[in-house]
Chain A
């Protein structure tokens, strides 16, 4: 099971793997250092946000609770998970570690963000979240490809 989750699908040529790694790295960076770090305490979170390590921004559980059940039943848990998926998941995406699990968490987060948070605010506002959503679908299937830690770990476990 462990191996299946991290086993990357490799393309016939390494250049194709390299090309497919670009969106993962760029979107991972955006999640970890921009979207995620603004609402989840990371060492590089903006100073004015005043977030301690692994702390979720004060306004986020309230926003999550507004989505209704089941989110309103456990707003802190869902807010923490969503923020964690973005900020820490972004790092995991960048380095290609546990790519499929990370992609699943980001997929769930973006599904909620796109259809519950921005569902009423028009297609234009849904587009950023949709971008992450589609990207996460691809990496749930492909894994990290050749250029990720999953590939190195898988090859070590295989020996």
Chain B
């Protein structure tokens, strides 16, 4: 009984005094993708692991230059320091059966700018 009460007390203290839940922040990322090698472009989208992105459906990217440069702004409400994404052009995933793109957030800037070329690893 003593041990049970002691364990319960320790657990209560741990839960009360530890910060418990990770704090979240809004992290804005501007994704820019060069898709000129895939022209003509019927659709261009972004998928990823953190809300509002998902792996099940595209977040539509808008053309800055038709058939060449597409863009979308995403605001993540997250505690993580980065996100994982893949671009989808004309219904085709980049990096099939390969690792996702890992994008670290630039915490010193209001918006992280991420430039990419479809299916090419950033240097």
Chain B residues contacting A59 (CB-CB under 8 Å) are 51
A-B contact count (CB 8 A): 51
Q: Check A2–B3 contact: CB distance below 8 A.
A: yes
Main secondary structure of the interface of B (DSSP, over half): loop
A23 part of interface (Cβ distance < 8 Å): no
Q: Does B20 contact A76, Cβ atoms closer than 8 Å?
A: yes
Task: Give A42-101 interface residues, CB cut-off 8 Å to B.
Answer: 47-59, 61, 76-77, 79-80, 84, 101
Q: Is the CB of A55 within 8 A of B22?
A: yes
* A19 contacts partner chain B, Cβ-Cβ < 8 Å: no
In the bound assembly, the distance between CA atoms of A54 and B19 in angstroms comes to 8
5 smallest beta-carbon distances between A and B, as pairs: A58-B79, A54-B18, A58-B22, A58-B24, A50-B81
Beyond A49-B79, A57-B22, A58-B22, 18 additional pairs, beta carbon < 8 A: A1-B1, A41-B22, A47-B81, A48-B104, A49-B81, A50-B81, A51-B22, A52-B19, A55-B18, A55-B21, A56-B20, A56-B21, A58-B21, A58-B24, A59-B51, A79-B21, A80-B15, A80-B20
- State the B residues within 8 Å of A (CB): 1, 3, 7, 14-15, 18-24, 51, 78-82, 102, 104
The interface of chain A, by Cβ under 8 A from chain B, is 1-2, 41, 47-59, 61, 76-77, 79-80, 84, 101
